[in-house]
């Protein structure tokens, strides 16, 4: 057994948290890019003269490429490492945000969103993969919850605070500024992040705990990827992400603000406070449910409970009498809080495959999340267009409550699908079962 010096232990702790902090800031930018279109929806419809379905497609352009890139992101995280993949991703996202902010046509704006989605697609999987190297398995649920809690600060900034900022500057200025910030973060990742402790000349996290290091990967990544796809226990978490979190991101990221504006007559700043409540609830839910899973030593019950509660939250939003004020804030926050249980799905997925391919497993289930959002955002707008009565305000379509309920019923159906999948999640008892069985 290797002897670890106190100096190495202190250096390990210092590097672990500094690397984590840089990557979490990058992850906050991911959430900001993801949720900001909901606050500037009216500006985008006016600037590009779009319908609800077209606006949904513009916002979802981010999700289309993000979804397609999740498996490649997992491969990059497991082969090149987080440092290279995330640094390059931040640079591409920064350029895309600037293009989006400067775009004069719908097509150029779509290209900008495409580049943003392409760039940020590698950040989360890279961060989660690095966490597997710098944190132990029994800490993984909690650190995953903390990661989502902090990442959601970006989405919260993209709601109420962004609406306040837009009273002073244009939406175009905001996106160009965020693009420049993304470029700076990319440089910081390249200079200071190390993908594994071994890259900094330190022992692995398992060796620090008195355990042997995980064996290195020896097979070609294509064989490893095929093995991940062929693992049945990974797929239930995919559909949990698809249904619960995909529907929440579509609503909070695009349609939650217009609902409060069209149905209840709130201005953008006031309406954005409700999506802020949803995203704050989501952030808290991620942290609490990640901690609860580690505390209980169980994955499956937390995931099932979160999915069932999500179905009930959507039904409450559809069927109960509510409006601006406490009832509205409560329901929006409840939607986010319940969806936060999805974070346990990452732990459940990585614990049913060998540690060397954890990035690919995380990427696969993460694909479900963004596939769900990519489908839901335009389809939500499409089902509203079906019953839209033709009302326009300053050239922007205004929908009725009955139109929004069409989309909310679809969201509820997505959450119900996730609830069914949750019952098929394999219980790992917070340990990697491939090592335990070996």
pLDDT tens over the chain, length 438 residues = 456 677 777 888 888 889 999 999 999 998 888 778 777 877 887 777 777 677 777 777 787 888 888 888 888 887 888 899 999 999 999 999 999 889 888 889 889 989 998 999 899 888 888 888 778 777 777 887 888 888 878 877 877 788 888 888 888 998 899 999 999 999 999 999 888 888 777 777 766 666 656 566 556 677 888 888 899 999 999 999 999 998 998 898 788 988 998 999 998 788 888 988 998 898 889 889 988 998 898 999 999 999 999 999 999 999 999 999 999 999 999 999 999 888 899 889 988 988 778 778 888 898 888 789 888 888 998 999 898 888 888 777 889 999 999 999 999 999 999 999 999 999 988 888 887 554
The C-alpha angle 137, 142, 147, rounded to 5 degrees, equals 110
Dihedral (CA of 101, 85, 354, 213) sign: negative
DSSP annotation of 245: I
User: Cα–Cα distance between 154 and 147 in angstroms, integer?
Assistant: 12
Phi, psi torsion values for 393, nearest 5 degrees: -130, 110
pLDDT score, position 1: 46
pTM above the 0.95 mark? no
The two tokens of residue 127 are 């961060």
pLDDT score, position 438: 47
The two tokens of residue 8 are 């190495």
User: Cα–Cα distance between 234 and 227 in angstroms, integer?
Assistant: 11
User: Cα–Cα distance between 432 and 438 in angstroms, integer?
Assistant: 10
């Amino acid at each position: 057994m290797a002897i670890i010096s106190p100096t190495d232990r202190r250096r390990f702790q210092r590097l672990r948290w500094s690397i984590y902090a840089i990557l979490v800031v990058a992850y906050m930018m991911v959430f900001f890019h993801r949720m900001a279109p909901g606050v500037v929806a009216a500006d985008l419809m006016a600037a590009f003269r779009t319908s609800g379905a077209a606006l949904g497609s513009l916002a979802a352009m981010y999700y289309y490429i993000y979804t397609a890139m999740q498996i490649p992101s997992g491969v990059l995280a497991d082969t090149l490492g987080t440092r290279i993949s995330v640094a390059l991703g931040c640079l591409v996202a920064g350029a895309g945000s600037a293009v989006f902010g400067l775009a004069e046509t719908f097509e150029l704006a779509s290209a900008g969103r495409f580049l943003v989605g392409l760039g940020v697609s590698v950040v989360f999987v890279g961060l989660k993969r690095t966490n597997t190297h710098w944190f132990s398995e029994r800490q993984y649920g909690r650190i995953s919850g903390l990661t989502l809690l902090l990442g959601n600060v970006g989405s919260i900034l993209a709601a109420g605070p962004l609406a306040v900022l837009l009273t002073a500057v244009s939406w175009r200025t905001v996106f160009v500024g965020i693009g420049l910030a993304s470029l700076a973060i990319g440089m910081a990742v390249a200079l200071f992040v190390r993908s594994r402790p071994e890259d900094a000349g330190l022992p692995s996290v398992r060796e620090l705990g008195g355990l042997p290091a995980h064996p290195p990967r020896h097979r070609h990544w294509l064989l490893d990827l095929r093995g991940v796809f062929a693992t049945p226990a990974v797929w239930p978490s995919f559909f949990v992400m698809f249904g619960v979190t995909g529907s929440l991101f579509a609503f909070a990221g695009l349609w939650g603000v217009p609902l409060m504006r069209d149905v209840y007559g709130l201005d953008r700043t006031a309406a954005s406070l409700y999506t802020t409540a949803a995203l704050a609830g989501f952030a808290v839910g991620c942290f609490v449910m990640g901690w609860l899973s580690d505390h209980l030593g169980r994955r499956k019950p937390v995931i099932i409970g979160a999915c069932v509660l999500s179905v009930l939250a959507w039904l409450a939003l559809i069927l109960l009498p509510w409006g601006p004020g406490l009832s509205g804030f409560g329901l929006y926050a409840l939607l986010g809080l319940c969806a936060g249980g999805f974070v346990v799905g990452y732990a459940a997925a990585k614990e049913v495959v060998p540690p060397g391919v954890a990035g690919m497993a995380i990427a696969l289930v993460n694909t479900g999340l963004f596939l769900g959002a990519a489908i839901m955002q335009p389809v939500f707008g499409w089902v509203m267009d079906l019953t839209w009565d033709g009302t326009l305000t300053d050239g922007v379509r205004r929908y009725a409550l009955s139109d929004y309920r069409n989309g909310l019923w679809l969201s509820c159906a997505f959450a119900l699908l996730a609830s069914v999948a949750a019952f098929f999640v394999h219980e790992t008892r917070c340990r990697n079962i491939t090592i335990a069985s070996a």
